[in-house]
Structure formats: C-alpha cells, structure tokens
Structure 1
Amino acid sequence: MKNYRIFSIMIIILSFFTVTTLGKKKLKRYLPATLVMSLIVILESIIAKKRVWWWFYEKLHPKVQGELPLIFGPFFIGSLIILKATYGKFLRYFLLNTVIHLLFVGPIITLLKRFGISSLVCINRTQLFLLFFTKSMMMYITQMVIDRIKGEGPASDDRNNDAQLQ
C-alpha cells in the first residue's frame, strides 16, 4: 500500500476516539484483561513471524512488527468495547465475537491482501478463526478471574446501579 504509514496511524487514532464512549469506570474495569490479551497477541505475532503464519508487506518502522497498528488500534479498543457491551452475557459475547472473527477472516483478510498490506502464508482462514476464537475465550476468562480477585461479578455494575436508584 502506497500510504501505509498514514493508514496505520489513522487506524490507531480513529480507534482511540471511540474510547470516550466507554466511561472512566468501565475503562478501569476492562483495561487489565484487554492489556493481558494485547500482550498475548504481541507474543503470538512474534511466534507467527518465526513460523511465517502471515506476512505484513509494510511496516511503520523496520524494527516494528507490521501488525502493531492493528493490535493497538482496532483489537485493543474493540476488545474494550466488546467487554463493555457483552460481559456477563456470554451468549451475546460469543455471538458478537464469532461475527467479528468471521468478518476478519473473510472480507477483511481479502482486503488486506488486495491492498498489499498482509496475507496468510502458513495458516489458513479456518486456523486463523480458531486462533481468534481461542483468544476471545481467554479474554473472557481473564476478565472473570480479574473480577473474582477484585470481588466483582459480571452483573456487579447492574447491582450497583440498582442500589443507587433506591
């Protein structure tokens, strides 16, 4: 892609504009699980580079992984938004993640390849979908563990709101 650097920076900036919709309390609640998963995704991308699961043709900088704009942009912010919208409602979480993953491994992968940004090499779309699905389940479980440690539950915000109304 001719303007990959501009595209990468814009995708990160546009993603971060949506953080304002979360609210400070929700951001603090879901940030730890999202950070853990972002670190796991970064480690995954290191493994993917060694095993050539996918290839990024363009990078922001020669020493920076090509997928970092996607990790720190749509993945990071999207994870926060999905947790806010669906946490405590597992079926909704499961369905939303399934739709998003299918969109990514379908048309988005096709567009990334068409624009010369990246392509799959030693991993196919089904394997990538299963990898995404596994990470989404890990993130949900991570949030459950964090809530248990903090003494919160998935519906604790609802209980707190009900108590404030009375």
Structure 2
Amino acid sequence: MKHMKYSKTLLLIMMILPWFTFPLLGKDAFKRFLPAALFISLVVRIVNFIAKKRRWWWWYEKLHPKISGIIPFIWGPFLVGSLWILKWTYGKFFRYLILNLMVDGVFTYGVVYYLQKFGIASMVRMKKIQIMYIFTIEALLLYGFQFVKEKLLMRSV
C-alpha cells in the first residue's frame, strides 16, 4: 500500500497537532478538567488492551516497536479533545452527550475509514455501532468522573 509510508508521520502529527490548541484552553479549565481527561485516557487504554486480546480492532502501525498506534490518539486528540469538550459543555449534560455523539460518530464513520486506508488500524470483530456503544459508555464515565470530583471538592470546601 503506497499510503503506508506516511502512516507513522500521520500518527505523529495526530498526536502533536491538538496540543497547539492548549494555550487557548486556559489554565483554569486545564487544571479543572485534567484529572477527568487523564482518567478517561487510562480507561481507553484499558479498553484497547481488552480489544487487542479479543481482536475487536487491530492497530498495525506503531510509532515505536513497543508503542501501539492507539497511544498517539490517546495522548493527542482524545486527551486534548476531552479537555475541550468538558470546557465547552460541562454542566450542560444534554449538550455534552450530543457533542460527544457527533465527535464519536465522525471518528467511527469517518476517521476509521482513513485509518484502514493508510494501514494504521482496522476493525476485526466489532461493528461500528458497537464502537459507538463503547464510546458512549466512555463519555458517560468521563462526565461522571468530573461530576463526582466536583461534588467531592464542594463537600471539602
């Protein structure tokens, strides 16, 4: 596949590019939402570990022999995107859910096509709608983590 020679570069760009929006996020939002974003990044890493064992999907490309192709997504668009989504929608649960469904839908029904085309990843034993279910559960966990964190902080003040 002629596109495969660019796949490592593409992964690297996808990991680094979202961080250029970091200064626009604001220090307060970063500090407020970082624990939840780190928590959900860990959850996504665990889900990916399970997915690898059960062959739900497969990452062909790696940045390094010991670093899965999912890592640039987790530490790039996923982590930074979680911070932005919480900043824009936290406290407005319906808006949060709609935005997450839109972003997850674009990834599942758009980005996955290009991941396959560039030889980076592919679906194996999972349908796209099933991935949307997983993403929805992760979105609920992200919001729930932030909600509990803020309730505990309010209690301790």
What is the TM-score when the length of structure 2 is the normalising length?
0.93
Q: Say which of 94, 97, 114 aligns to 2:97.
A: 94
Q: Post-superposition shift, 1:111?
A: 1.4
Whether the aligned pair in 2 keeps the contact of 1:31 and 1:80 (CA below 8 Å) is yes
Q: Pick 1 or 2: higher relative contact order, CA cutoff 8 A, min separation 6.
A: 2
Match of 2:148 in 1: 145
Match of 1:72 in 2: 75
- SS across alignment from 2:132: helix
Q: Post-superposition shift, 1:4?
A: 2.2
More helix by share: 2
Match of 1:21 in 2: 24
Q: Which amino acid aligns with 2:91?
A: G
Q: Say which of 30, 34, 42 aligns to 2:45.
A: 42
Q: Structure 1 stretches (4+) deviating beyond 4 angstroms?
A: none
Q: Which amino acid aligns with 2:153?
A: K
Q: Post-superposition shift, 1:114?
A: 1.3
Q: Distance in 2 between matches of 1:50 and 1:106?
A: 23
Whether the aligned pair in 2 keeps the contact of 1:4 and 1:60 (CA below 8 Å) is no
Q: Distance in 1 between matches of 2:149 and 2:86?
A: 13
- SS across alignment from 1:119: strand
Which sits farther off after the overlay, 1-10 or 142-151? Answer: 1-10
Which consecutive unaligned segments of at least 5 residues does structure 2 have?
A: none
Q: Distance in 1 between matches of 2:33 and 2:70?
A: 22
What is the TM-score when the length of structure 1 is the normalising length?
0.88
Is residue 119 of structure 2 the alignment partner of residue 131 of structure 1? no
**Aligned-pair Cα RMSD in Å:** 1.1
Match of 1:51 in 2: 54
Aligned length: 152
